[in-house]
Structures are given as structure tokens and as C-alpha cells.
Amino acid sequence: MNTQLLVVTIVLFLTSISSYLLRHKTISRYSLYLVTGITLSFWIRVENIIELTTLGVVFLLFYLGLRANPSLFERNWKVSVKTTFWITLLVTIPFTILLIYQGFTLFDSIILALAVTTGSSLVAIKLVKKEIEKGLLQGKLTESINLIHDVIVLTVLAVLSFPSNPIKDVAIIVALFVVVVVVRDRFANLFFKITGKSKELQLFVAITILLGLSVMTNLAGIGLLIGSFLAGMILSNHKTSYEIRKNIEPLKEFFIVILFVSIGLGLGIPTLNALYLAALLIALTIIVVFAHQIMLTQQGIHAKTSFYTAIQMDQVSEFVVIATLFLYLDSAVSIYVYEAVALAFLITSLTSLLTDIYKEKIFSFVNKEAFVSAKNIPKQNHVIIAVIGKVAHMLYNDLQDKNTPLLAIDQDPQKVQNLKRYIIGDINKEETWEKANYKKAKAIILFNPAFCNIVKTSKAKKFLVHTSKIQGFKHIDMKEAEQKRFNQIIQEILKT
């Protein structure tokens, strides 16, 4: 029987089953793969699939590199760099010193400190996907801070793993990043000139660049991980980088399963020491979150945006986990450092999903005073609009000079700050609605059915602008417009 085939099949089978069964649960896929690895660690050794794991690492780094496009972050760069600088100075370095003082080696201490203070791009960017698409500040900040974290982690790990001449290594890495940022547009144009629209050729040229740069950086003495990331960055600014990402995704998905299962295989059942250390790391991520929030607020970012960005830093970086796995297999770090880092990654990638779901509640709990702010709240006979989008703005501008006062409610300060009457607050809380005197309002217009329960007792005329209907609310289906117009246009086109 082909052992390698059997191992891969078992790995895929278990991950598929668990992913399918838990598809509706808020569980990170990577944690599931890791748990599968832990389960299989009694029968399978990580060495059995180490080659496929290596491919998993390079494809994952390449994929993350493809997402790392500094030009998209505009002026958020400055804020992100400053924040990371202060976090490094005030949290990472003191924590490293503390660990050394506690008897850890310099190597282990830096790994542990990096694990805590840098977030996971894989988990965080997925969580803020919608915010990134909408161009919201918290999304952009999360993306840019994570990219800086990735670059720092890769640089430090490259220097640590091959410590013969750290200054030369850092110089090479910085030079490579600069060269990549400067030449990547020309390079990408050449790439597409060569491949044309052939997806197959695009895939092969992209993988060749990936493997070529990995081999080159390895020969330069800084390891192949940094080369894989840089290969992605080279193609990240091109208009069709999205297509390459899509094309490479099946390969990444296949190998990444093996990679994370391997992390689990290496982990097995952790020792008590590792458990203590993991608990310490997890507790410290909370400090890191608040440190990020403070740094961001200090730079003029709104408290809520700062918090929503900072809370995405509550995981352990996957880069650190991956590098630690290989360092552990090479006996460069102690087993319980690896176990602690992997365990902390597993737990924080699970808790991170929960903190994302409950971030509003956590924010309102932590920032009670700062949370609600309001301006010119009418006492009665007013029209309340929640939440604020373009239609709400149009209505507001159109009707604000009329006799009926309009009150806007939204959680995002950026959306309402310029309006005449508003409340910035948690719309899920009855307190906020009471502040808006909703019981005495003339009309309530909701653009989200989630708040219908709170206001249903009000005698005001209630409207719900949404695709779903709710009893007691006059339903305005926006899709009706599309359907009507669609008919009209088709008839017009067919007549011509």
C-alpha cells in the first residue's frame, strides 16, 4: 500500500468531514486542520509528509504576498508603521527581556514575543474582508498593520534561523523589499506579456517565480520563506493579481491542509509547561489588543475604529507557528516553545472569531463612557433613521429643512458626524433607542431587520427597507426596483 497516498487521504478525509459538519459554526478552518493533526499525531509522524508541508509553506507565503500590496494602504501606512514601532518598543522588547530574565534563551524569547505581538494575516484579513471591500478605515488599518507584522516576522525569523551575519542578512532583506516594490510593476507587465491570457501558463510562470525567488533567497543565506513572500509581492500590484490568486488558490488550499495538519502532528498532546506558557501567551494577546487601541487612538483614530482594528490583533501569527515547526524539527527551539506557540495559535484563532462576533459588546462594555455620543436629539414627533447609508443621507438632506426633525442613528461616527441631529451608539441596545425617544417618534425607518425587535412596541409608523419582511413594519423591497427596471430595459433592447 502506498503510505504517502494513505496518509494524505486520511488527512483530507478527516478535514473534509470536520469542515463539512462544522460548516455553519464559527470555527476557523485552520484550527480544524490543526485539531485533525493533533488527533492523527498518535499514528502519523510529521516527517511522513514534510515535503508536502514545505510546499504548503511556500504556497501560503506566496498567496499572502499576493495580497500584500502597499500601494492600497494610502496614508494608513504612517499610522500603521508608528503603531507597530511603539508596540515593538513598549511590548515586544520588554516581553523578550522578561522571558530572558525568566531563563529562556534569546532565540526562544524572541520567538515567543513575536508570537504574541504580531497578528495572523490569514485569520484577521478574512474577518475584516467586508470592511476591506467597503474601504472602511478599520479594514485598511488591519490589513496594513498585518502586512508590517508579516514583514517584521519574516525578517527576524530569517536572521534568527541563519544567524551567521545578522547585519548582512538584514541589509539583503531590506534591499530585496525595496527592489521588489520598485521593479514589481515592470516585472508584472513583462509577466503578463509573456503569458498572455493563458491561465495554465500564468500558473506555471507564477509558480516558477515563487520557487525561483525561494531558491535565490535560500542561496543568499536568508531562507526560502522570505523569497516565497516576495514572489507574491512582485505580482501583487498588477490589475490581474486577483486572477493569479484565484488560479493559485486550489494549490494553496490543497497544500495548506497538509501544512496545518502537520503543525498539529508536531504538536501532539502538549506538556504541562507548554500549557502554562500557552496560557501566558494568550493572556498577553489581550494586553497587545489594548496596546494597539491606545496607540491608534493616540494618533487621532476614533475610539471605536481603533478598537475594531486592535481586536483583530488578538491571534498568534501563523508565520511564527510555521517557522517554529521547522525550527523545532531542526532542534533549534525547545519542544515546549513550539507546543506553546502552536497551542496559542490554535486557541487564539478560535477565540478571535468569537471576539469578532462580540466586538460591539466588548467595546460597549469596555468603553461605556466614550461609546454613546449625540447631538440635538428631538423630544417627539421626529423621524428616526437607522442605519445610515446613501438613501438615508439623501432623505436627510432633503427633509431636514422641513418641519419634521430627522434623527440619524449609527455606530460609525464617520457616517453621522456631519449631520444636524444624530446618535452614535450601539443600535442593538435599547438604551440607545431610548436616548432617541423612539416611543414618541412619528416614524422609524430601519435599513436592517436586526433592530426590529427593540422598536416593535413603538406606536410610530415603522418601515423596513430590506429584502425580508417583518410583521408590523411596512416593507419596502429595494429589489423590486431592479426587477421593474430590468423588464423595461430588456423590452427596450429587444425592440431595437
Partner 1 sequence: MISQLLIFELFIILIVAVVLAIIAKKTGQPLIVAYILTGVVLGPIFFDFITESNIIHFMEELGLAFLLFLVGTEMKFGPLRKILKSVTKISIAQILAQQFLAFIVAYMLGFALFEALIISVCTIFGATPVVVKLLSDKDELGTEAGRIDVGTLILQDIYLIIVIAIMRLDDFSNIFSVAYGLFEVFALIVIIGVVSYLISKYFVTSWLGQTSRSGVFFLISITWLFVFLTLSDYLNLSLEIGAFLAGLGIGQIPFGEEVREKIRPLTNFFMAIFFASLGLVLNLESVMAYWKEALFASFVLLISNFFVLYYLIQWQGFGKETSFKGSVNMMQLSEFSLVIGGIALVTFDFFTDQALGYLTIMTLVTIIISAYLIKYNHYLYLKLKKYLTGEEKETTEKKRENHIAILGYEPWIQKALRKINKNVVILAEDRRILNLTYDKEYGNPNHKQLREQINIKDAKLVVNLIDNLDLNLDLQKETKAKILVKTSKKNHTLYQKNGFHYVFDEEELEEKYVYQKLRRELS
Which residues, numbered 28-67, are part of the site for partner 1 (CB under 8 A)? 29, 50-52, 54-55, 57-58
Q: Which is nearer to partner 1, 99 or 206 (CB)?
A: 206
Does the protein bind partner 1 through residue 373 (CB under 8 A)? no
Does the protein bind partner 1 through residue 220 (CB under 8 A)? no
Among 190, 250, 365, 453, binds partner 1 (CB under 8 A): 250
Q: Which is nearer to partner 1, 208 or 380 (CB)?
A: 208
Q: Alpha-carbon distance 431 to 361, whole Å?
A: 13
Does the protein bind partner 1 through residue 341 (CB under 8 A)? no
Q: Closest distance between partner 1 and the C-beta of residue 194, in Å?
A: 6
Which residues, numbered 299-338, are part of the site for partner 1 (CB under 8 A)? 326, 329-330
> Which are the contacts of 278, defined by CB distance < 8 A and separation ≥ 6?
270, 339, 340, 341, 343, 344, 347
Does the protein bind partner 1 through residue 394 (CB under 8 A)? yes
Q: Answer whether 349's CB lies under 8 Å from 120's CB.
A: yes
Q: Closest distance between partner 1 and the C-beta of residue 84, in Å?
A: 27
Q: Alpha-carbon distance 253 to 255, whole Å?
A: 6
Q: Alpha-carbon distance 21 to 24, whole Å?
A: 8
Q: Closest distance between partner 1 and the C-beta of residue 304, in Å?
A: 25
Q: Alpha-carbon distance 188 to 213, whole Å?
A: 15
Does the protein bind partner 1 through residue 483 (CB under 8 A)? yes
Q: Which is nearer to partner 1, 15 or 315 (CB)?
A: 15
Q: Which is nearer to partner 1, 166 or 212 (CB)?
A: 212
Which residues, numbered 170-209, are part of the site for partner 1 (CB under 8 A)? 194, 196, 198-201, 203-205, 207-208
Q: Which is nearer to partner 1, 185 or 398 (CB)?
A: 398
Quote the Cα angle for 208-214-216, to 5°: 100
Which residues, numbered 399-418, are part of the site for partner 1 (CB under 8 A)? 399, 404
Q: Alpha-carbon distance 305 to 52, whole Å?
A: 40
Q: Alpha-carbon distance 343 to 346, whole Å?
A: 5
Q: What is the DSSP secondary structure assignment for residue 316, as one 8-state letter?
A: -
Which residues, numbered 428-467, are part of the site for partner 1 (CB under 8 A)? 443, 445, 461, 463, 465, 467
**Amino acid (one-letter) located at 28:** S
Q: Answer whether 281's CB lies under 8 Å from 116's CB.
A: yes
Q: Alpha-carbon distance 7 to 43, whole Å?
A: 10
Q: Which is nearer to partner 1, 68 or 213 (CB)?
A: 213
